[in-house]
Structure 1
Amino acid sequence: MEYDILMFLHNNPKYNTAAEIVKIRKSTKSHVSTSLRMLEEKGLIEKRQSEDNKKYIAIILLDKAKTIVNEGTAVQKQFARDILDGLSDEEMDKCKAVFEKIYENAEKRLKQFK
Protein backbone atom coordinates (compact mmCIF):
# COMPACT_ATOMS: atom_id res chain seq x y z
CA MET A 1 0.00 0.00 0.00
CA GLU A 2 2.94 2.35 0.62
CA TYR A 3 3.96 2.15 -3.03
CA ASP A 4 0.39 2.86 -4.14
CA ILE A 5 0.26 5.95 -1.93
CA LEU A 6 3.57 7.24 -3.30
CA MET A 7 2.33 6.83 -6.86
CA PHE A 8 -1.05 8.36 -5.98
CA LEU A 9 0.62 11.44 -4.47
CA HIS A 10 2.85 11.78 -7.52
CA ASN A 11 0.03 11.32 -10.04
CA ASN A 12 -2.48 13.46 -8.09
CA PRO A 13 -0.56 16.29 -6.41
CA LYS A 14 -3.69 18.32 -5.65
CA TYR A 15 -5.01 15.48 -3.43
CA ASN A 16 -2.31 15.57 -0.80
CA THR A 17 -4.02 14.93 2.53
CA ALA A 18 -4.74 11.66 4.31
CA ALA A 19 -8.49 12.34 4.11
CA GLU A 20 -8.30 12.82 0.33
CA ILE A 21 -6.32 9.60 -0.10
CA VAL A 22 -8.94 7.71 1.93
CA LYS A 23 -11.82 9.24 -0.03
CA ILE A 24 -10.44 8.96 -3.54
CA ARG A 25 -8.70 5.60 -3.21
CA LYS A 26 -11.57 4.13 -1.20
CA SER A 27 -9.10 2.96 1.46
CA THR A 28 -9.62 2.66 5.18
CA LYS A 29 -8.33 5.39 7.48
CA SER A 30 -6.28 2.88 9.45
CA HIS A 31 -4.49 1.50 6.36
CA VAL A 32 -3.70 4.97 5.05
CA SER A 33 -2.55 6.18 8.46
CA THR A 34 -0.29 3.16 8.95
CA SER A 35 1.16 3.47 5.45
CA LEU A 36 1.81 7.19 5.83
CA ARG A 37 3.58 6.62 9.14
CA MET A 38 5.81 3.97 7.52
CA LEU A 39 6.58 6.24 4.55
CA GLU A 40 7.44 9.07 6.93
CA GLU A 41 9.72 6.81 8.98
CA LYS A 42 11.51 5.78 5.76
CA GLY A 43 12.06 9.45 4.86
CA LEU A 44 9.92 9.28 1.72
CA ILE A 45 7.24 11.77 2.75
CA GLU A 46 6.83 14.67 5.11
CA LYS A 47 3.67 16.02 6.72
CA ARG A 48 3.38 19.81 6.73
CA GLN A 49 0.76 21.65 8.73
CA SER A 50 -0.80 24.69 7.09
CA GLU A 51 -0.13 28.00 8.81
CA ASP A 52 -3.61 29.21 7.88
CA ASN A 53 -5.52 26.09 8.87
CA LYS A 54 -3.98 23.94 11.61
CA LYS A 55 -6.27 21.03 10.68
CA TYR A 56 -4.88 20.90 7.13
CA ILE A 57 -1.81 18.68 6.94
CA ALA A 58 -0.32 18.30 3.48
CA ILE A 59 1.68 15.22 2.58
CA ILE A 60 4.79 16.08 0.59
CA LEU A 61 6.93 13.67 -1.41
CA LEU A 62 10.59 14.04 -0.50
CA ASP A 63 13.57 13.71 -2.83
CA LYS A 64 14.24 10.20 -1.54
CA ALA A 65 10.87 9.10 -3.01
CA LYS A 66 11.70 10.38 -6.50
CA THR A 67 13.68 7.28 -7.51
CA ILE A 68 10.79 5.01 -6.54
CA VAL A 69 8.24 7.26 -8.24
CA ASN A 70 10.31 7.58 -11.43
CA GLU A 71 10.68 3.80 -11.67
CA GLY A 72 6.96 3.39 -11.00
CA THR A 73 6.06 5.90 -13.69
CA ALA A 74 8.26 4.09 -16.20
CA VAL A 75 6.57 0.77 -15.34
CA GLN A 76 3.11 2.35 -15.71
CA LYS A 77 3.98 3.80 -19.12
CA GLN A 78 5.45 0.52 -20.35
CA PHE A 79 2.38 -1.38 -19.14
CA ALA A 80 0.11 1.02 -21.04
CA ARG A 81 2.20 0.58 -24.21
CA ASP A 82 2.13 -3.20 -23.83
CA ILE A 83 -1.61 -3.55 -23.37
CA LEU A 84 -2.43 -1.10 -26.18
CA ASP A 85 0.07 -2.59 -28.61
CA GLY A 86 -1.39 -3.23 -32.04
CA LEU A 87 -4.54 -1.15 -31.55
CA SER A 88 -5.41 1.36 -34.25
CA ASP A 89 -6.22 4.96 -33.33
CA GLU A 90 -9.90 4.20 -33.91
CA GLU A 91 -9.76 1.15 -31.64
CA MET A 92 -7.98 3.16 -28.96
CA ASP A 93 -10.64 5.89 -29.16
CA LYS A 94 -13.40 3.29 -28.78
CA CYS A 95 -11.57 1.66 -25.89
CA LYS A 96 -11.16 5.03 -24.17
CA ALA A 97 -14.86 5.82 -24.61
CA VAL A 98 -15.88 2.46 -23.12
CA PHE A 99 -13.56 2.89 -20.12
CA GLU A 100 -14.85 6.42 -19.53
CA LYS A 101 -18.42 5.10 -19.48
CA ILE A 102 -17.44 2.29 -17.09
CA TYR A 103 -15.74 4.85 -14.84
CA GLU A 104 -18.82 7.10 -14.86
CA ASN A 105 -21.06 4.15 -14.00
CA ALA A 106 -18.76 3.08 -11.17
CA GLU A 107 -18.70 6.62 -9.74
CA LYS A 108 -22.51 6.82 -9.83
CA ARG A 109 -22.79 3.48 -8.08
CA LEU A 110 -20.24 4.38 -5.41
CA LYS A 111 -22.09 7.63 -4.66
CA GLN A 112 -25.18 5.58 -3.81
CA PHE A 113 -23.29 4.02 -0.90
CA LYS A 114 -22.14 7.30 0.64
Structure 2
Amino acid sequence: MKTGLEFSRKVDTAYMALCKPLCKKWHLTQTALDILMFLANNPEFTTARDIVEIRKLKANLVSVNVDRLVREGYLVRQEVAEDRRKTKLLCTSKADEIITQGRKLQQNFVALLFAGIDEETRDILLGSMTKMEENLDYILEEEA
Protein backbone atom coordinates (compact mmCIF):
# COMPACT_ATOMS: atom_id res chain seq x y z
CA MET A 1 0.00 0.00 0.00
CA LYS A 2 1.21 3.50 -0.77
CA THR A 3 1.53 6.11 1.92
CA GLY A 4 -1.52 7.16 3.90
CA LEU A 5 -1.23 10.54 2.22
CA GLU A 6 -1.71 8.97 -1.20
CA PHE A 7 -4.71 6.97 0.05
CA SER A 8 -6.26 10.10 1.55
CA ARG A 9 -5.76 12.02 -1.70
CA LYS A 10 -7.40 9.23 -3.69
CA VAL A 11 -10.38 9.15 -1.32
CA ASP A 12 -10.85 12.91 -1.75
CA THR A 13 -10.45 12.74 -5.53
CA ALA A 14 -12.88 9.83 -5.91
CA TYR A 15 -15.47 11.50 -3.66
CA MET A 16 -15.25 14.75 -5.61
CA ALA A 17 -15.63 12.84 -8.88
CA LEU A 18 -18.87 11.31 -7.58
CA CYS A 19 -20.05 14.76 -6.44
CA LYS A 20 -19.53 16.46 -9.81
CA PRO A 21 -22.92 15.57 -11.31
CA LEU A 22 -24.75 16.71 -8.15
CA CYS A 23 -22.78 19.97 -8.04
CA LYS A 24 -23.50 20.56 -11.73
CA LYS A 25 -27.22 19.80 -11.33
CA TRP A 26 -27.59 22.32 -8.48
CA HIS A 27 -25.00 24.84 -9.78
CA LEU A 28 -22.91 24.47 -6.63
CA THR A 29 -19.18 24.42 -6.08
CA GLN A 30 -17.71 21.41 -4.31
CA THR A 31 -17.03 23.64 -1.31
CA ALA A 32 -20.67 24.79 -1.18
CA LEU A 33 -21.87 21.18 -1.28
CA ASP A 34 -19.34 20.24 1.42
CA ILE A 35 -20.63 23.06 3.63
CA LEU A 36 -24.27 22.03 3.24
CA MET A 37 -23.48 18.38 3.89
CA PHE A 38 -21.28 19.18 6.90
CA LEU A 39 -23.99 21.31 8.51
CA ALA A 40 -26.73 18.78 7.73
CA ASN A 41 -24.75 15.77 8.97
CA ASN A 42 -23.28 17.44 12.06
CA PRO A 43 -25.98 19.53 13.75
CA GLU A 44 -23.76 20.08 16.80
CA PHE A 45 -21.47 22.22 14.61
CA THR A 46 -23.12 25.35 13.29
CA THR A 47 -20.55 28.07 12.70
CA ALA A 48 -18.24 28.98 9.84
CA ARG A 49 -15.36 28.56 12.30
CA ASP A 50 -16.50 24.95 12.92
CA ILE A 51 -16.41 24.29 9.17
CA VAL A 52 -12.92 25.77 8.84
CA GLU A 53 -11.50 23.95 11.87
CA ILE A 54 -13.14 20.55 11.43
CA ARG A 55 -13.40 20.23 7.65
CA LYS A 56 -10.07 22.01 7.16
CA LEU A 57 -11.48 24.25 4.44
CA LYS A 58 -9.87 27.63 3.84
CA ALA A 59 -11.63 30.46 5.68
CA ASN A 60 -11.94 32.64 2.58
CA LEU A 61 -13.56 29.79 0.61
CA VAL A 62 -15.98 29.12 3.46
CA SER A 63 -16.86 32.81 3.70
CA VAL A 64 -17.50 33.23 -0.03
CA ASN A 65 -19.53 30.03 -0.28
CA VAL A 66 -21.56 30.70 2.88
CA ASP A 67 -22.43 34.16 1.54
CA ARG A 68 -23.59 32.61 -1.73
CA LEU A 69 -25.60 29.87 0.02
CA VAL A 70 -27.30 32.51 2.17
CA ARG A 71 -28.04 34.70 -0.87
CA GLU A 72 -29.51 31.72 -2.73
CA GLY A 73 -31.67 30.71 0.24
CA TYR A 74 -29.96 27.43 1.19
CA LEU A 75 -28.65 28.76 4.52
CA VAL A 76 -29.76 31.34 7.05
CA ARG A 77 -27.65 33.10 9.63
CA GLN A 78 -28.90 33.22 13.21
CA GLU A 79 -27.26 35.32 15.92
CA VAL A 80 -26.42 33.48 19.12
CA ALA A 81 -28.06 35.33 22.02
CA GLU A 82 -25.20 34.68 24.47
CA ASP A 83 -22.52 35.94 22.07
CA ARG A 84 -23.55 38.35 19.34
CA ARG A 85 -20.21 37.80 17.60
CA LYS A 86 -21.18 34.19 16.96
CA THR A 87 -23.52 33.35 14.13
CA LYS A 88 -25.16 29.97 13.61
CA LEU A 89 -25.56 28.70 10.08
CA LEU A 90 -28.75 26.72 9.52
CA CYS A 91 -29.87 24.84 6.44
CA THR A 92 -33.24 25.91 5.05
CA SER A 93 -35.95 23.74 3.56
CA LYS A 94 -34.71 24.86 0.13
CA ALA A 95 -31.57 22.78 0.81
CA ASP A 96 -33.54 19.63 1.73
CA GLU A 97 -33.46 18.02 -1.73
CA ILE A 98 -29.74 18.70 -2.17
CA ILE A 99 -29.06 17.21 1.26
CA THR A 100 -31.18 14.13 0.50
CA GLN A 101 -29.34 13.57 -2.77
CA GLY A 102 -26.00 14.28 -1.07
CA ARG A 103 -26.66 11.69 1.61
CA LYS A 104 -27.54 9.09 -1.03
CA LEU A 105 -24.31 9.96 -2.81
CA GLN A 106 -22.34 9.57 0.43
CA GLN A 107 -23.95 6.19 1.13
CA ASN A 108 -23.12 5.08 -2.41
CA PHE A 109 -19.53 6.26 -1.97
CA VAL A 110 -19.11 4.21 1.21
CA ALA A 111 -20.64 1.17 -0.52
CA LEU A 112 -18.21 1.55 -3.44
CA LEU A 113 -15.28 2.08 -1.07
CA PHE A 114 -16.07 -1.15 0.81
CA ALA A 115 -16.98 -3.19 -2.29
CA GLY A 116 -15.38 -6.64 -2.20
CA ILE A 117 -14.56 -6.41 1.52
CA ASP A 118 -16.38 -9.01 3.59
CA GLU A 119 -18.29 -7.97 6.71
CA GLU A 120 -15.76 -9.50 9.12
CA THR A 121 -12.86 -7.62 7.54
CA ARG A 122 -14.90 -4.43 7.45
CA ASP A 123 -15.73 -4.79 11.17
CA ILE A 124 -12.05 -5.35 11.98
CA LEU A 125 -11.04 -2.29 9.95
CA LEU A 126 -13.67 -0.05 11.54
CA GLY A 127 -12.83 -1.37 15.02
CA SER A 128 -9.15 -0.70 14.40
CA MET A 129 -9.91 2.83 13.22
CA THR A 130 -12.01 3.45 16.35
CA LYS A 131 -9.13 2.27 18.53
CA MET A 132 -6.65 4.44 16.62
CA GLU A 133 -8.94 7.44 17.14
CA GLU A 134 -9.00 6.73 20.89
CA ASN A 135 -5.19 6.53 20.81
CA LEU A 136 -5.04 9.87 18.99
CA ASP A 137 -7.34 11.43 21.60
CA TYR A 138 -5.01 10.14 24.32
CA ILE A 139 -1.96 11.56 22.56
CA LEU A 140 -3.65 14.92 22.09
CA GLU A 141 -4.75 15.05 25.74
CA GLU A 142 -1.22 14.25 26.91
CA GLU A 143 0.23 16.99 24.69
CA ALA A 144 -2.25 19.65 25.83
The TM-score range, normalised by the shorter chain, is 0.7 to 0.9
Q: Which residue of 2 aligns with 1:86?
A: 116
Say which SS state the counterpart of residue 83 (structure 2) adopts: coil
Percent of aligned pairs sharing the same letter: 30
Question: How far apart, in 1, do the equivalents of 2:61 and 2:134 lie?
Answer: 26
Give how far 1:44 is off. 0.2
Give the paired residue count: 111
1:25 maps onto 2:52 in alignment: no
Could you tell me the TM-score, scaled by structure 2's length?
0.66
How large is the RMSD of aligned CA atoms in angstroms?
2.4
1:61 maps onto 2:83 in alignment: no
Question: How far apart, in 2, do the equivalents of 1:85 and 1:32 lie?
Answer: 33
Alignment of 1:5-24 (within 5 A): 5-24=35-54
Give how far 1:68 is off. 0.4
Aligned counterpart for 1:44 among listed residues 70, 74, 80: 74
Question: How far apart, in 1, do the equivalents of 2:51 and 2:36 lie?
Answer: 11
Say which SS state the counterpart of residue 54 (structure 1) adopts: strand
Q: Deviations over 1:3-44 (max 9, x none)?
A: 000000011111100111111111221111111001011100
Unaligned runs of 5+ in 2: 1-30
Question: How far apart, in 2, do the equivalents of 1:15 and 1:90 lie?
Answer: 33
Q: Which residue of 2 aligns with 1:35?
A: 65
Question: How far apart, in 2, do the equivalents of 1:6 and 1:104 lie?
Answer: 28
Unaligned runs of 5+ in 1: none
